[in-house]
Amino acid sequence: MTNFAAAALLLSAVAGFSQPAAPVKFSLADAQAARKEIMKDREETRSWLKSDPGSYLAAIRRVDFGGKSELSVGSAEGNDVRLDGVSSRHLKIVVKGDQFEVAAVDPGAAFSVGASTAAPAVRSAALAPGAIRVGRYTLKLSHQGYPAIIVFDPKSPRFKEYHGVPYFPIDLSYRYAVKLVPDAKPEIVLIASSHSGARRATRVGWFEFLAGGKLCRLAAYHLEEPGVDPEALIVFFRDATTGKQTYAVGRYADPEKQAGGSYLLDFNTAYSPACAFSSFYNCPIPPRENTLSVAIKAGQQDPHYH
């Protein structure tokens, strides 16, 4: 064992850490495959942002339900969500618990479920949070405890603002195979958000790893919101690059569960929240406990779309 590794284990024991994860060790072939995978993901992100109908840049409006249980959609004045090219009173959308009830109002009015242009037209549906298509528009039915409709337009003028997405160079020393240290009593916490009140999440446990020669610990959360995969974990974090090279609110990382119960935590795939690109999104703000003193020079840099 090296002197550094021995010192790290001693410090981890004093700090109450389990044995922290070191970066993944790769063969040359594995390293090349990991780099190829990361580059592919980055190019797909850039392509999606540049022109996809569901891109952050395609979002043109957000209408919150607020104290209402029902919002109207149509081309006429007085609708809560006004859209060109649809009937005057096209839809009504009602929030009922964790679901949305969508119904056509005008004769001949219809919508399709999901974002696909091939989906059949219907006049009513009870839906979990997701998307519907109305004319050329996609309406995202967002819940998060604060229901809203986000309108996406394939003709959004914001596509003209596209200038790419910057990333740090790939550095596989920020790629970890790490065990989740479970919280003995998983706790519901309130996480501040960029657009609404606090959002509920369960602090499931912690990931512990070595970065920049220091012991680091980040809490992993599960958002307690309609439509969230019950197995999904997310890490909201800030580090020494935040507000400098990276977005001022912070960044996110999605741990991937592996065979055997460990997780792949790769900061090369860390990303800026949607609110870094558009003001129409409601994004969790990393809690104070997930602030690192080290610089995580991996993943997405500040995209500068504001």
Q: Given a cut of 50, is residue 7 above it in pLDDT?
A: no
Domain check: are 66 and 28 in the same one? no
Mean of the per-residue pLDDT values of the chain: 92
Q: Burial letters for 160-193: b for 16+ Cβ neighbours within 10 Å, e otherwise?
A: eeeeebebbebebebbbbbbbbeeeeeeebebeb
Residue 304 lies in a domain: no
Domain check: are 259 and 190 in the same one? yes
pLDDT digits (tens, 9 = 90+) for 60-119: 999 999 989 999 999 999 999 999 999 999 999 999 999 999 999 999 999 999 988 889
User: Where among 124, 153, 182 does a domain terminate?
Assistant: 153
Domain check: are 132 and 256 in the same one? no
Strands (E), the chain: 59-64, 70-74, 81-82, 91-96, 99-104, 111-113, 121-122, 124-127, 130-134, 137-142, 148-152, 175-178, 180-191, 199-211, 214-223, 235-237, 251-253, 256-257, 263-266
pLDDT digits (tens, 9 = 90+) for 157-212: 999 999 999 999 999 999 999 999 998 888 899 999 999 889 999 999 999 999 98
> CB–CB of 89/105 below 8 Å?
yes
Tokens matching residue 107? 């004769």
Domain check: are 40 and 174 in the same one? yes
- Domains in the chain, number: 2
Domain check: are 25 and 127 in the same one? no
Domain region containing 121: 56-153
Residue 306 lies in a domain: no
Residue 158 lies in a domain: no
- The half-sphere exposure of 199 on its side-chain side, counting CA atoms within 13 A, is 24
Q: Given a cut of 60, is residue 10 above it in pLDDT?
A: no
Tokens matching residue 139? 């309406």
User: Where among 121, 153, 185 does a domain terminate?
Assistant: 153
Residue 149 lies in a domain: yes
* First CA to last CA distance, the chain: 48
Residue 296 lies in a domain: no
Residue 109 lies in a domain: yes
CA–CA gap between residue 91 and residue 109 (Å, rounded): 8
Domain check: are 172 and 239 in the same one? yes
> CB–CB of 227/131 below 8 Å?
no
Domain check: are 45 and 182 in the same one? yes
Domain check: are 42 and 63 in the same one? no
Residue 159 lies in a domain: no
Domain check: are 235 and 280 in the same one? yes
Domain check: are 104 and 181 in the same one? no
pLDDT digits (tens, 9 = 90+) for 105-139: 999 999 999 988 889 999 999 999 999 999 999 99
Domain check: are 128 and 202 in the same one? no
Residue 122 lies in a domain: yes
Q: What CATH number does the domain containing 117 carry?
A: 2.60.200.20
Domain check: are 272 and 127 in the same one? no
